[in-house]
Amino acid sequence: MTGRYARLLARLGYAFSDSGLLGRALTHRSRGGENYERLEFLGDSVLGLVIADTIYRRFPGLSEGELTRVRAGLVRRESLARLARDIEIGDYLQLGEGELKSGGYDRDSILADALEAVFGAVFVDGGFEKAREVIERLYRASLASIDPAAVIKDPKTRLQEYLQKQSLGVPTYNMLEITGDPHQQHFVVECVASGLTQPVRGEGGSRRAAEQEAAAKAYASLTEQTGDGRG
């Protein structure tokens, strides 16, 4: 097992005592038998706690809402998939024939889930502090690139300033759906902006909240494409 996964283990910076845990963390349900879903469930919680604690300590000037936005950007599917590609998890995934043929080894959802399962496996095998070490190791560059001044700006302002800096047009927000009783409505909007491959959606209990969520997603997508997270 060690030889087969030697390169991945080196990138994680961790050696497993239970050799079966990593294999399970890399096994998709399409393969049959034991798979990564339970470990993914656990890893998702461990990741959320580690990231929350890390940014809480690193950015004492950020409010609860600002910390929430930072955490959401770090643990979103696209961010996890990027990290999984960085350590080439796709090369080690155990997939069923159908998923292999359809390119599951490079699908964002599978890569993100598998990485969370690996975090869960490290937690089960070595405890919380070892899981923290692995997570912080993989997130080092992402954490270092966070600009607190940019986080403090609300998402719509941050997106508009970013687009202006790139000499692109202003974003537009289109209402897609309003549901619920008048006193408890739910809004769905889409943000259309130059550089996005397709509009992104946001939801919330008010139009403003939905637009802010859509803007945050649009900004995160654009800056991931360009590698410029500082807006």
| Distance (Å, whole) CA 231 – CA 226 | 10
Q: Which two structure tokens, joined as six digits, stand for 8?
A: 């991945």
Q: Which residues pair with 174 in a beta bridge?
A: 190
For residue 213, give Cα distances in angstroms to 36, 132, 133, 156: 30, 28, 31, 9
- Which residues carry out catalysis? 44, 116
List helix spans (H) across 19-76.
19-25, 37-58, 64-75
| Distance (Å, whole) CA 228 – CA 231 | 6
